[in-house]
Chain A
Amino acid sequence: MVGYIVPEIIIGAFASLIILLNYTVTQRKILGYLSLLAVALAFVSLFKLPRMTAWGIYAVDDFAIVFKAVFLTVAFLVILSSLKDINKREGEYYSLLLMSLMGMLLLASSIDLLMLYVALELATIPSFILAGFFRDKQTSEAAMKYFVFAVVSSGLIVFGMSLLYGLTGTTNIYEMINRLELNTVSILASLFLVAGFAFKMAAFPFHAWAPDVYQGSPTPISAFLSSASKKMGFLAVLRIFYIALSPIANYWALAFAILAALTMTYGNIVALSQTNIKRMLAYSSIGHAGYIIIALALLNTKVAIFAIAAALLHILVHAVMKAGAFIAGIVAGENIEDYKGLSKKAPITALMLTILLLSLIGVPPLAGFLSKFYILLSAIYAGGSVGYVLAVLLVVNSAISIFYYGRIISYMYWAKAENETKINEPLSVTLALIIAVILVIVIGLYPSEIVNYLQKAAESFVKGL
């Protein structure tokens, strides 16, 4: 009877269990393995989920399944890489992580503004605590910046939602389509929502928090924030804007086109001058957000379904690549100097990081090339001045990104390190990296099934269940 909510129940139950065990178990290492088990179980249960809508606020469609799979994969990699990094207060850490994950899973299925808002906050509030987990100067600053920006953005989002509710008299996303009309207030509401979700997506000019937060947080949490938390913004935008706000699509699509152009250019150019790897990855993550927003800007054209499929593919691929790249930093360190001669110091990590960075650049046949190529294709198919300008910018920005990714690769393989003592490569971190690399290679080599499924997911989401 409650078949549709099984993954969330598993994750929620384990989150509660872990916080209880925290005070009774002496061997706290086991808590990490328990949370890995929870995520794995939830992932398996995804395959058996019935497709249905419940109470008019919760829908399990293929679109939601794709996002749940992305969130669970990222959470698995993050927990695996935390096993080594988190040595105290494990119970708090893993249970907060799972609670945040539960919010994300609920968000993936929300088709009602109320449900969507509550799920968004359930996913966000635990991550404030996680961002400041070590309670030292750096992490507390990260937590503060993340908190201020996130609550302001949710204020903007709620205000936009209240206007939408006033205009349509409903909070159900699929019922709104027929009741929404083009007028000043509906455009105002969409602007509030664009601004609010642009904060969540870290799009220029609402990006200011991202580099500081990713740099200051514990490294596994940086991976979690940039790969999972950030994707919530895209998810909510696709649901709200493409479905509920479709009557005024021409207005917000233009806003997204401008955001996309600014975001990718800014992110890639500023990334060039960074000397801290986490900060550089944060800016590159802003750049990649820009690539995904290109697809959002094409939602009012005839290629909308193709653009959604391309966005889903890039969201999936970018989540895996970026999580892997952050996780490699656990072994290698934060400063770019640490990466000199890494191929001697930590050969496996260096190799894996190289593959992930090549994928982030977009080198065929890796997955990063494929997903970028699909976004480029959708921009070209859409045509018009917007489509062509965005396509050109995408190519130019990919070229720029070669410099800063390539610099790390050249440091790892060709620069001389001052001391070439081996760094210990923990098994759990290496395993997480290997999983990320395998996913990147497999998606790159055998894309047809995944792309077909994503296409189906995009269609299912447009029709509604």
Chain B
Amino acid sequence: MVPLSSYIMLSLILFSIGVFGILTTRNMIRILMGVEILLNSANLNFIAFSRYMGDITGNVFVLFTIIIAAAEAAVGLAIVMMIYRNYLTLNVGKIKEMRW
């Protein structure tokens, strides 16, 4: 059986990849993908803990997280569409109407 610590390490690595992706990319769609990876790393944690403790709560939590991530992605893609119509680009570095 794979030890629990391996799952935690994997989820931490996934989390870091997600944060790295969000921080370094300039493309709005890629940022959305980074966010998905971020949320999924937490899901992996929940499932691993749930399996090792024999407790169902973690699985339930994951179901809710997946649904919420889907809702967020739907709204996020709508915002991406809106941005593209207004600016004709998805490069977040070029979207800067507001600066002080």
Give residues in A with beta carbon < 8 Å to B: 113-114, 117-118, 121, 125, 128-129, 132, 135-138, 140-144, 147-148, 151-152, 154-156, 158-159, 161-163, 165-166, 169-171, 211-212, 215-216, 270, 273-274, 276, 279
Contact = CB atoms under 8 A, between A and B. Distances in A.
Interface string B2-20: 0000001001000100110
B61 A159 contact: no
Contacts of A117: 61, 64-65, 68
Contacts of B53: 166, 169
Given A128-B79, A135-B82, A144-B28, A152 B60 contact: no
A128 B61 contact: no
Contacts of B38: 151-152, 155-156, 159
Interface in B46-100: 46, 48-49, 53, 55, 57-58, 60-61, 64-65, 68, 71-72, 75-76, 78-80, 82-83, 85-87, 92, 95-98, 100
Contacts of A114: 57, 60-61, 64
Interface residues of B, number: 45
Nearest to A112: B57
A135 B78 CA distance: 11
B51 to A, nearest CB: 11
A88 to B, nearest CB: 16
B79 A132 contact: yes
A158 B39 contact: yes
A131 B45 CA distance: 32
B49 A147 contact: no
Q: Which 7 A-B pairs have the closest CB atoms?
A: A155-B38, A162-B45, A166-B49, A158-B42, A159-B42, A140-B82, A162-B42
Contacts of A161: 42, 61
A147 B98 contact: no
Contacts of B48: 166
Nearest to A185: B8
A274 B98 CA distance: 12
Contacts of A165: 45-46, 49, 57-58, 61
Contacts of B82: 132, 135, 140, 143
Interface of B: 8, 11, 15, 18-19, 22, 28, 31, 35, 38-39, 41-43, 45-46, 48-49, 53, 55, 57-58, 60-61, 64-65, 68, 71-72, 75-76, 78-80, 82-83, 85-87, 92, 95-98, 100
Nearest to A283: B100
Given A118-B68, A121-B71, A162-B45, A144 B100 contact: no
A7 B28 CA distance: 38
A141 B41 contact: no
23 contacts: A117-B61, A128-B76, A129-B78, A135-B82, A137-B87, A140-B79, A141-B83, A143-B82, A144-B28, A144-B79, A144-B80, A148-B31, A151-B38, A155-B18, A155-B35, A155-B42, A161-B61, A162-B43, A162-B61, A165-B45, A165-B46, A211-B100, A279-B100
Residue of B72, B79, B86 contacting most chain A CB atoms (<10 Å):
B79
Residue of A135, A142, A162 contacting most chain B CB atoms (<10 Å):
A162
A126 B56 CA distance: 30
Nearest to B15: A159
A200 B98 CA distance: 21
A216 B35 CA distance: 23
Nearest to B80: A144
Contacts of A169: 49, 53, 55
Contacts of B87: 137, 140
Contacts of B39: 154-155, 158
A171 B61 contact: yes
B65 A158 contact: yes
A107 B59 CA distance: 21
A243 B48 CA distance: 25
B58 to A, nearest CB: 6
B62 to A, nearest CB: 9
Nearest to A167: B49
